[in-house]
Structure 1
Amino acid sequence: MPRSKYAAYEAADPYFNLVRGALGGLVDGTHFFDVIADDIIYETLYDLGWPRVIKGRTNLMAAFKGYVDNIALQSADRLITHEIAAGCVIEYEVHGIILATGVAYNNRFCSIIKIENRKITHWRDYMDSHAAWCAMTAKKQERRI
């Protein structure tokens, strides 16, 4: 069986699958990276090591490669979808592990998604910055037998 062209990003699959499911028939494409426009503007309104503004699909993929090199998600849930004229707003949670420390990572997000020509053209993200900060700065978890 051939590997997915997005195999390097599998650690974020719970997030990608949740987003793709939330968008349903509003967009064309199977994977998250298939449903974003080449000239997407991806904004994050928090400062925790992720760029505040990412321009372009290629740059967004590079940013997500850094994400999956550091965080492995186990699940994404508690999805609430609000369709709006220009796209949708989604609220959701992600749950995973910070790979360097083994610390649990649980966070809540609200994303405002603009869609044009059946592709995501603009993404504005809000998250629980305190939850992310606590997970990223926690000391390494000791393994228990």
Structure 2
Amino acid sequence: MTTTITDLDDFKALDPFFRIIEKGLDGIADGEHFFDLLAEDVIFDYIITTPGYPRRVEGRKAIAELYRPYGTMIVLDRCHDLAVHHDIKTGVVVLEYASEGRVVPTGAPYTNRYISVLTITDRKVTHWRDYLDPVAVFDALGWPSS
């Protein structure tokens, strides 16, 4: 059974992210929308992330639920500087990209850079390892209290 992610309007805050990933995987993975590019049982590992964010999420539906409330904290205005590195033999794709946006409660600017290491199997993303700059998140949202 395939899970179709509905209510895509819930994810408007992430549209620039979705578009840059779709661009980076054009011709490599199949799917019209970001969620369609993911295998049903995809695994996301957040290697460099922020406190309180899950380290591992399993399944397309679980990823959608993790991303659904994103727009309550941050809205992305654009993603750019895409570099795609694809090893056809192993099916590994490395995407480098950057984002710009704003923090919803304060209007503070948010910028970050990312590296996502994806494994493609049968033209779907089956594994995603994500790296971001946690300092950029803290600068935008506030530093955790010690």
Over aligned residues, Cα RMSD in angstroms? 1.4
1:1-145 aligned within 5 A: 5-45=7-47, 46-84=49-87, 85-137=90-142
- Mind listing any 5+ residue stretches in structure 1 that lack a counterpart? 139-145
CA distance in 2, matches of 1:114, 1:23: 11
CA contact (8 A) 2:113 2:133 kept: yes
The two structures have a TM-score, normalised by structure 1, of 0.88
Which one is further off, 56-65 or 66-75?
66-75
Deviations 1:25-64, CA, capped at 9 Å, x for gaps: 1111111001101101001112333211011111100010
- Mind listing any 5+ residue stretches in structure 2 that lack a counterpart? 1-5
Runs of 4+ aligned structure 1 residues displaced above 3 Å come to none
CA distance in 1, matches of 2:8, 2:113: 24
Structure 2 letter corresponding to 1:68: G
Shift of residue 5 of structure 1? 4.2
CA contact (8 A) 2:40 2:60 kept: yes
CA contact (8 A) 1:70 1:99 kept: yes
CA distance in 2, matches of 1:98, 1:49: 18
CA distance in 2, matches of 1:98, 1:34: 27
CA distance in 2, matches of 1:57, 1:108: 23
Structure 1 letter corresponding to 2:105: A
CA distance in 2, matches of 1:33, 1:49: 23
SS at match of 1:24: coil
CA contact (8 A) 2:29 2:123 kept: yes
For 1:142, the equivalent position in structure 2 comes to: none
Shift of residue 69 of structure 1? 2.4
Q: Percent identity?
A: 35
